[in-house]
Amino acid sequence: MRLKILFFFIVISLLVSQETPPPPTMEAGAQKSPLPPPPIKTMEEAIKNKKEIPGLVTLYQDTINGKMYMFLENDQLDREFIYFVHGRDGQLDAGVFRGNYREARIIKLTRYFNRVEFEIQNTSLFFDKENPLNRAADANVSTAILASANIIGERKGSGEYGKQSNSAVLIDVDNIFLSEALHQITRGMIPGDKTNRFKIGKLVKNRSKYIDIKNYPKNTDLIVQYVYSNPTPTNWGSDVGLTDARSVNVTLQHSFIEMPTNNYTRRFEDPRVGYFTTQVTDMTTPDDVTPYRDLIHRWHLVKKMPDEEISEPVEPIVWWIENTTPYEFRDAIKEGVLAWNRAFREAGFLNAIQVKTQPDNAEWDAGDIRYNVLRWTSSPNPPFGGYGPSFVNPRTGEILGADIMLEYVFFTNRVKYEHLFDAESSVQPSINKHPCHAGEFLNHANLFGLTVMNTLEGFDHLERRRLIYESLFWLTLHEVGHTLGLTHNFYASNLHNIEVIH
């Protein structure tokens, strides 16, 4: 009897073990399936507890956790914007510094079912609209879908899908702007480079944040502070402004700018005159050995009185002297800027350039791309004495804005010791092979001139001040030339004729 009972329990236990197999274990290296996106809410539900920030592209920010959302009207989808990025603050070792113009590209936001894609457009190719080849203009041309954002809210409109009037979507953009999805900050390593270069570390998303939002009718600006972590740095950086190499802060401004709709006329590069250019290749002209349609960078100036030989412009180029500028330098800077009016007068424009001073109580800051600003800083490890960048519409070459960065080091007796004593750095490949060293060379000339004045007799403090004044005038004149689209030849482009050159 006991044997029968024991046999019965053994059989039952075997049956139970077969009916309840152990849960499957995940194989090593296997990844969990991504969670499906949350269901799309009504717009009223989606914007609840969020602060509206109206402008070109309306933004909403969660009032509890700071998350950012972008509100897109139907007519803003499949529409081109200019996407411009520049450095608000950073570290020279990290490759970012205040006033650092980084890129300007054409971006299009396109809906694909339950998400919106951020797609960079290719502006480097030209196809004649009248040529049949234009029908194949997209052949083997890759746009860049750099990021996509889930739609979390929607306002339904009337009409067929994709063509609905009065419709709108709300998208979550934290994964785009709190990452390097649209713009790369971390630099790649140079192949074969075994030097102990500074490493910025890895981006820490839960420490990165929006530090300001500026929204205007024609541009939307998101100012983001990126925090990078490197727990065990072997190179602690050369910049004394870097508090601790284990944590590096970099601040960028992402700007979405409305495409200009003026009557600006493109002008193509002439190699005899040195302009900065946007490269464009003609894909439909058969008889041109050099199929170049490179666009020069220039401002859009229009005469108020087009029939007059000389006229003021409808909209002059206005420069603002930042309120950080030392008082004793302001007159020299103003003269250096206004000196360019002599050249514009030869082109038929009177008072094409104006100069104003930013009030101490101004409500706008110098990083606002609506203003062209002559900016002053005194950085611990400045990358230049002067720097004059501008940004353009990649479709046309029209200059849309500019700044000039001036560093107080230009007037000090500081010389970068690594340029004098570090032989290793002199043989390393340069990331920027064509930097502008005008400010640095002029600083060296100033040091030499002041040394001579202090050594020889017959020079008083007024002559020393005059030396500084003239050097600052020259530096400003030089950097303004860059912001007008001119490279380093300036007047020298006409110094020799073609026969002499060849």
Give pLDDT tens digits for 54-65. 999 999 999 999
Residue 424 has pLDDT above 50, yes or no: no
Mean pLDDT of 352-358: 98
Polymer length in residues for the chain:
502
Angle between helix 438-455 and helix 461-483 axes, rounded to 10 deg: 170
- Domain boundaries in the chain? 41-183+200-258, 300-426+434-501
Q: Output 417 or 462, whichever has higher pLDDT.
A: 462
* Lowest mean per-residue pLDDT among 23-37, 167-181, 341-355: 23-37
d(CA 422, CA 37): 54
Q: Considering the chain, what is the average pLDDT of its residues?
A: 85
Share above pLDDT 70 across residues of the chain, in percent, rounded to a whole number: 82
- pLDDT per residue over 447-459, tens digit each? 777 777 777 777 7
Residue 26 has pLDDT above 60, yes or no: no
Q: What is the pLDDT of residue 385?
A: 72
User: Between the CA of residue 64 and those of 48, 50, 224, 260, what are the distances in Å?
Assistant: 11, 8, 18, 37
**CA torsion through residues 161, 109, 58, 299, sign:** negative
Most confident residue range from 82-96, 101-115, 398-412, 427-441? 101-115
The confidence band for 138, taking pLDDT boundaries of 50, 70 and 90, is very high
Mean pLDDT of 354-382: 90
d(CA 227, CA 201): 9
Q: 241 near 226, Cβ under 8 Å?
A: no
The confidence band for 203, taking pLDDT boundaries of 50, 70 and 90, is very high
Q: Output 316 or 425, whichever has higher pLDDT.
A: 316
Mean pLDDT of 145-165: 83
Share above pLDDT 90 across residues of the chain, in percent, rounded to a whole number: 59
Secondary element (H or E) of residue 86? strand 80-89
The confidence band for 159, taking pLDDT boundaries of 50, 70 and 90, is low
- Residue 69 pairs in a beta bridge with 60, 172
Mean pLDDT of 118-129: 95
The confidence band for 502, taking pLDDT boundaries of 50, 70 and 90, is low
Q: What is the pLDDT of residue 423?
A: 43
Q: What is the pLDDT of residue 370?
A: 93
Q: What is the largest CA-CA distance in the chain?
A: 129
Q: How far is CA 459 from the centre of its chain?
A: 46
Q: What is the pLDDT of residue 429?
A: 44
